[in-house]
Amino acid sequence: MKIILQREVEKLGAPGDVVDVADGYARNYLIPRGMAAPALKGAVRHAERLRRAHEQRVTRGRDEAQALADRLTALPIRMKAKAGEEGRLFGSITVSDVAGELERVAGDAIDRKRIHLPEPIRSVGSHEVVVHLHPDVNASVTVEVVAQ
């Protein structure tokens, strides 16, 4: 059965795609959940509008993420922490601390789950932190930790 996807369906397609699936899968799962509609004559034009709107949303999201990534890489991130004589911190700087500082400096809320820090920062100096903003856009931010 030919259907037009209304939403993105994993391993099947994006909104506006016309795909051929098993009759039972379409009738019993996709159509009742609003994920697809039967591909009738007038629905093809609707599918084209859905596809264009989806592409515009994706492009706009990528552009916004790229602008934020450019802003984040240009901003200096300096964090103060208590440290010992040899430059080891008494505590550690975690992803939550980095997210709070990025939000304070950049002005945009960044989810801590999007920040990739292999392990908490436990020493004074410069550390690279990767922020995953979009499937196509990553920002590399340098966090400089200085002793108080």
- What residues does each domain of the chain span? 2-63, 75-147
Q: What is the pLDDT of residues 20-33, one digit of tens each?
A: 999 999 999 999 99
Domains 2-63 and 75-147 share a fold: no
Take residue 50 and report the two structure tokens written for it: 């859905």
133/144 Cα distance (integer angstroms): 21
Provide the terminal-to-terminal Cα distance of the chain, rounded to the nearest Å: 67
Q: What is the CATH architecture assignment of 2-63? A: 3-Layer(aba) Sandwich (3.40)
What pLDDT is attached to residue 17? Answer: 87
- Which strands form 18-20's sheet, in the order they lie side by side? 18-20, 2-5, 36-38
Q: Report which DSSP code applies to 82.
A: -
Query: Which residues of the chain have a pLDDT value below 50?
Result: none
User: What is the maximum span of the chain, computed from C-alpha positions, in angstroms?
Assistant: 76
Q: How far apart are CA 101 and CA 32, in angstroms?
A: 45
Choose which CATH entry (3.30.43.10, 3.40.50.1820, 3.10.430.100, 3.40.50.300) describes domain 75-147: 3.10.430.100
